[in-house]
Structure 1
Amino acid sequence: MHSKALFMSDKTKEISITVELDDNDVPEKIDWNATDKAGEGIANCKAMLLSMWDPKKKDTLRLDLWTKEMTKEEMKIFFHQTLVTMADTLQNATEEEAMAEDMRDFTSYFAEKMEIME
């Protein structure tokens, strides 16, 4: 599986994602690279959540992948950090400070219930 996305502004940037699958189509390895990524070369990750907005359908397209090596504990931390980032993005994109703060309160609750460090 290979995915590429182009972002246009005053210049073009590219993000590439390569997923190696086993015989049952379960991800074994996820590599990614970006034209403006810190450091050179391809980076490896164990999980990714990719959401894309379809303006015609007014719907979110999702691609959620994780490798066999991703532990449950790592997944809990990954989700927590993703939720925190989503609260920050909501505030930056919409200026909905109160709702973003409510989301941050939830992330604290989430971390407590999942028994992970914040």
Structure 2
Amino acid sequence: MKKAEIKLEVELDDNNVPDTIQWSSTDGQNTESLPTKAMFLALWDGQYKNSLRIDLWTKDMPYDEMKRFFYETLQTLGDSFLRSSGGDPMAEKIIGDLRDYCAHFAEKMEVLEQQN
């Protein structure tokens, strides 16, 4: 059995606000610690049937980048749900609704205009 480790290191200021976030993985091509400005970590607790989350971002994470991060995260959550659904037609319909919302979010937050 293969094992991999994902390591997160967060440096906090005196007010417990993240100054830096670093991550590394033993299963990638580059195992050295890499910087990031934000992260969402979601875990499922099978015993209590609820999710556990850690949402962190550094003080220097620009608002425009945060909007893009939210948009891309919503899009990829849809992708993950579709992969896990096993071809359920209702899941495909719901993800279509999510994609519509993502387009609405991107338009209202001017996410895609900033990319061009």
- The answer, yes or no, to whether TM exceeds 0.5 is yes
Partner of 1:111, secondary structure, is helix
Tell me which residue corresponds to 1:116.
111
- Post-superposition offset of 1:116: 1.1
The question of 1:33 aligning with 2:28 is answered no
* Contact 2:78-2:98 at 8 Å conserved across structures: yes
Percent identity, please.
45
For 1:37 and 1:49, how far apart are their aligned partners in 2? 19
Taking only aligned residues, the RMSD between alpha carbons, in angstroms, comes to 1.2
Q: Which has the higher helix share?
A: 2
Instruction: Give ranges in structure 2 of 5+ residues lacking alignment.
Output: none
- Post-superposition offset of 1:39: 2.8
Segments of 4+ moved more than 2 angstroms: 37-40
* Larger RCO (alpha carbons 8 Å, 6+ apart): 2
For 2:39 and 2:95, how far apart are their aligned partners in 1? 22
Instruction: Give ranges in structure 1 of 5+ residues lacking alignment.
Output: 1-9
- Post-superposition offset of 1:38: 3.9
TM-score, with normalisation over the residues of structure 1?
Answer: 0.87
